Amino acid sequence: MATVFEKSSFCLITGASQGLGREIALQFSNNWEKSGKKSDVVLIARNKDGLEETKSLIKSSAPGVNVHVFPIDLGDLDQLQSLCPTLLKIGDPSRHDQFIMVHNAGTIDTFDCTLAQLSDGHTTRKFFDINYTSMTVLTAHFLSKFPQKASLIIHMTSLLATVYIAGFPLYSPSRAARNAYIGVLVAENPDVRVLNYSPGPCDTEMYKKIPEEIKKGFMAVLTPAESINKLVKVICEDQYKNGGVMDYFDC
């Protein structure tokens, strides 16, 4: 059976301007380049310059992959709704054998307040729009557009969805909500292949924002390349339970 990277694919990756999202885009594209399968990669993030840099890196190592860049603020749900048809139109069942969505984008707490101080509902709503609601919008459009048996959804989850640490009053609840959403998605769409991948603590810009006293409780810090190498292996082997969680340290 052909692996993920031995099929002509359409792949949409959120949060692709830096860190894990950029590494996913690079490694996936390089694998399609090696197999010679013509594929289209759509990159989404707020940072246009970062997206262009990711595109440039891909074109240097995987010139056969078509790269499409869309600067989008996932917290702007009206903009996202209006752009979804354009984003997904690039995926074409007459040209692509497989359709992939990678939910990687996300923000982290500002570490300047506790749950007891979250009295401003606007702050909470904005955080959840970026980290949860935008994911549901994209996924709904994706599911309505592409055949289930040819679809793969990869959700970048976190141990903090189930392990609770003081200092993450919004991040942990948003990740737990995402995990629950994925569970329902699998129950309703059993033919869609779905993986929750927990990448472990990685040396990214998001990780740098975490206070040192919190970092002391984490396991060894990985490079994005180390973590995404493992993700590539997991999806190629295709032995994971559909909708299950695979953690870097458990694989």
pLDDT digits (tens, 9 = 90+) for 93-136: 999 999 999 999 999 877 777 888 888 888 899 999 999 999 99
Assess whether pLDDT exceeds 90 at residue 210: no
How far apart, in whole angstroms, are the C-alpha atoms of residue 157 and residue 43?
A: 19
Q: Which pLDDT belongs to residue 1?
A: 57
Q: Does the pLDDT value for residue 214 go beyond 80?
A: no
Which residues, at least 6 apart from 127, have a Cβ–Cβ distance to it below 8 Å? 107, 170, 174
Choice between 114 and 178, residue whose per-residue pLDDT is larger: 178
What is the mean predicted confidence (pLDDT) over 34-44?
97
Kindly state the percentage of the chain with pLDDT values over 90: 77
Mean pLDDT, range 144-153, rounded to an integer = 97
Q: What is the pLDDT of residue 81?
A: 95
pLDDT for res 239: 94
One DSSP character per residue, the chain reads ---GGGS-EEEEEESTTSHHHHHHHHHHHHHHHHHT---EEEEEES-HHHHHHHHHHHHHH-TTSEEEEEE--TT-HHHHHHHHHHHHHT--TTT-SEEEEEE-------SS--GGG---HHHHHHHHIIIIIHHHHHHHHHHHHS-GGGEEEEEE--GGGTS--TT-TTHHHHHHHHHHHHHHHHHH-TTSEEEEEE--SB-SHHHHTS-HHHHTTS-PPBPHHHHHHHHHHHHHHT-SPTT-EEETTT-
Going along the chain from its start, the domains and CATH numbers come out as 4-247 (3.40.50.720)
Return the higher-pLDDT residue of 164 and 143: 143
pLDDT exceeds 90 at position 32: yes
Strand order in the sheet with 245-247: 66-71, 40-45, 9-14, 98-103, 151-156, 193-198, 245-247
Compute the distance between CA of residue 242 and CA of residue 152 in angstroms, rounded to an integer: 10
Which residue, chain included where needed, has tokens 């737990």?
A: 176
Query: Mean pLDDT over all residues of the chain?
Result: 93
Would you say residue 177 has pLDDT above 70? yes
Torsion from C-alpha of 15, 16, 19, 20, nearest 10 degrees: 80
pLDDT band with cut points at 50, 70 and 90 for residue 151: very high
Residues 135-151 have a mean pLDDT of: 97
> Which of 130, 32, 35, 146 has the alpha carbon at shortest distance from 89?
146
pLDDT at residue 213 above 70? yes
Task: Give 162 or 188, the one with higher predicted confidence.
Answer: 188
The answer to whether residues 98 and 31 touch, using CB atoms and an 8 Å cutoff, is no
The stretch 196-221 carries a mean pLDDT of 82
